[in-house]
Amino acid sequence: MAALNLVLMVTAFCIGTVYSLQCYTCSSQTLNTNCMNQTNCSSTANYCQTNVSSLYSVSVIDKSCAATCSPTSFSLTFISYSVSCCSNNLCNVSGSTSIKYSSILLALSLGFIVWLLDDQLPL
């Protein structure tokens, strides 16, 4: 009977270890390549979360394990913020490039509109 209990305890430990979520983690990084720290999340963490804050073309990235996660995204002129969530091992490998590209596209679009209107506005 003691041997059966030991086998069950070892099996339970292995199952818990195998199924714990792994996420990339970092804090206040400006390059995604600095966010490659692999972390074994606690048993309460169900999500890998990536937060990206951008001002003009400079992004600050935070990645973590999270018990709850609500995807969010907004952009105002040259400021943007996004929260992305995923639930597979090491799924938050990227996350900042889409924000940078959208910021660059927004800046180019606004510049083009100003250029078009510049000839039509009396000074």
Per-residue pLDDT of 42-93, as tens digits, reads 999 999 999 999 998 899 999 999 999 999 999 998 899 999 999 999 999 9
Task: With respect to residue 123, please indicate whether it lies within any of the assigned structural domains.
Answer: no
| 21, 41 Cβ separation under 8 angstroms | yes
Query: 26 lies in a domain?
Result: yes
Query: The domain that contains 56 carries what CATH number?
Result: 2.10.60.10
Cα distances (angstroms) measured from residue 21 to each of 14, 65, 96, 114, 119: 14, 8, 21, 48, 57
User: Is 41's pLDDT higher than 70?
Assistant: yes
Domain of residue 98, residue span: 21-115
Lowest mean pLDDT among 12-16, 28-32, 54-58, 75-79: 12-16
In-domain check, residue 16: no
Does the residue 41 lie in any domain?
yes
Split into its structural domains, the chain has a count of 1
Radius of gyration of the CA atoms of the chain, in A: 22
Name the residue among 110, 99, 89, 96 with its Cα closest to residue 46. 89
Q: Is 25 within the bounds of a domain?
A: yes
Sign of CA dihedral 64, 66, 72, 76: negative
Q: Is residue 15 part of a domain?
A: no
| pLDDT, greater one: 27 or 78 | 27
Please indicate, yes or no, whether the overall pTM of this predicted structure exceeds 0.75.
no
Which DSSP string corresponds to the chain? -HHHHHHHHHHHHHHHHHHS-EEEEEEEESSGGG--EEEEPPTT--EEEEEEEEETTEEEEEEEEESS---EEEEETTEEEEEEEE-STT--S--SHHHHHHHHHHHHHHHHHHHHHHTTS--
- Residue 7 forms part of a structural domain: no
Do the domain assignments include residue 121? no
